[in-house]
Amino acid sequence: MNSKAKLPAGSRCLVTGAAGFIGSHLSRRLLNDGCRVTGVDCFTDYYDPAIKEANIEGLSKHPDFELIEADLSDIEDHWFQGVNWVFHQAAQAGVRASWGKEFAHYTGHNVLATQRLLEWARHNNLERFVYASSSSVYGNTGKLPMHEEDLPRPLSPYGVTKLAAEHLCGLYAQNFGVPTVSLRYFTVYGPAQRPDMAFHRFIRSILNGKALVIYGNGEQTRDFTFIDDIVEANILAAVKTTPGGRVYNLGGGSRISVNGVLELLKELSGRAVEVRYEPVQAGDPPHTYADTSRAREELGFVPQTSLKEGLGLMLDFFKQPGC
């Protein structure tokens, strides 16, 4: 994966969730590659919408970027005319927050919105429909690494909705030929990471000299994946011809415990770290670890960024004025 994948110049792309962490990075890359990007986002208040405004500030000034502020559940036929490639990144994120009455946001933004977009896609002649799925579809498989053929058994309501939407992508591929591909992201990190996620919270606490919180004993592991590798994988999935409905794991190859991450952060920041331990959170799987052989063989996906390098880039980002 040394030479970067590219869509044909002038390609018309739709990025849903364009103001989010992953959607904004992907939109920037597509514009840099000479594509025209329609971004859609409904600026929910799961976290401060000002963060999303900041994510797209630069994009909005680009002549080939158009933003539609809307909820995908309200999609109308005339939206997104001329679009050939869809990158469906929009979702109600957050594993631990998906219990209780909040679940309605998860079914609405993850399941219903995806179904509406697939209905639209069914009547439009797309080159590719890339769906951002999640490692949280696996749950506690009891077997590592996790393979695409393992039976998914999500542990969180969030994971249930991501899996339901992935199944919808499969159904629309089988029944109507929508060229879907689902990418199971494993805990994505990097500059502009969402503020509810571990690395963002850890780095902010360290730089502010505050105690950070670890859920459980910190021995849970994640196969953390750097944002640029995820962006590259989206483009690879768009340009490669693979059967409709295919599913791929995207892990960074940087599986490590949360305690291990803290050691790296101490080393990189040169600061002391105060830790407060809190109970394991419902919905959190003990471990994730991606078998990425399918993505490597069929898409040419090879993650390029080590955890140490990626964390260093994140720390630099947080040290910028205004962060």
Q: Which stretch binds ligand UGA (CB under 6 A): 79-87, 100-108, 117-125, 130-138?
A: 130-138
Binding ligand UGA (rule: CB under 6 A), the pick from 68, 126, 197, 264 is 197
197-212 exposure pattern, b = at least 16 Cβ within 10 A, e = fewer: bbbbbbbebbeeeeeb
Decide if residue 110 touches ligand UGA (CB under 6 A).
no
CB 306 within 8 A of CB 254: yes
Binding ligand UGA (rule: CB under 6 A), the pick from 135, 234, 269, 305 is 135
For residue 174, give the 3-state DSSP assignment.
helix
144-147 contacts at long range (C-beta below 8 A, 24 or more positions apart): 144/287, 144/289, 145/223, 145/251, 145/289, 145/290, 145/291, 146/249, 146/288, 146/289, 146/290, 146/291, 147/249, 147/291, 147/294
**Alpha-carbon gap, residue 118 to 97, rounded angstroms:** 26
Q: Which stretch binds ligand UGA (CB under 6 A): 43-51, 100-108, 168-176, 183-191?
A: 183-191
Q: Tell me the per-residue interface mask from 67 to 96 with ligand UGA, x by CB under 6 A, - otherwise.
A: --------------------------xxx-
Decide if residue 198 touches ligand UGA (CB under 6 A).
yes
CB atoms under 10 Å from CB of 318, counted, come to 18
Decide if residue 132 touches ligand UGA (CB under 6 A).
no
Decide if residue 169 touches ligand UGA (CB under 6 A).
no
158 a catalytic residue = yes
Sites for ligand UGA among residues 275-304 (CB under 6 A): 281, 284
For residue 250, give the 3-state DSSP assignment.
strand
Decide if residue 102 touches ligand UGA (CB under 6 A).
no
Nearer to ligand UGA among residue 171 and residue 197 (C-beta): 197
CB 177 within 8 A of CB 244: yes
Decide if residue 30 touches ligand UGA (CB under 6 A).
no
Q: Of 46, 158, 185, 189, which one is the catalytic site residue?
A: 158
Euclidean distance between the first and the last CA atom of the chain, given in angstroms as a whole number: 32
**Alpha-carbon gap, residue 33 to 231, rounded angstroms:** 12
Decide if residue 98 touches ligand UGA (CB under 6 A).
no
Residues annotated as part of the active site: 158
Q: Under the rule (CB under 6 A), what is the footprint of ligand UGA?
A: 93-95, 134-136, 185-187, 197-199, 201, 213-215, 220, 222, 258, 281, 284
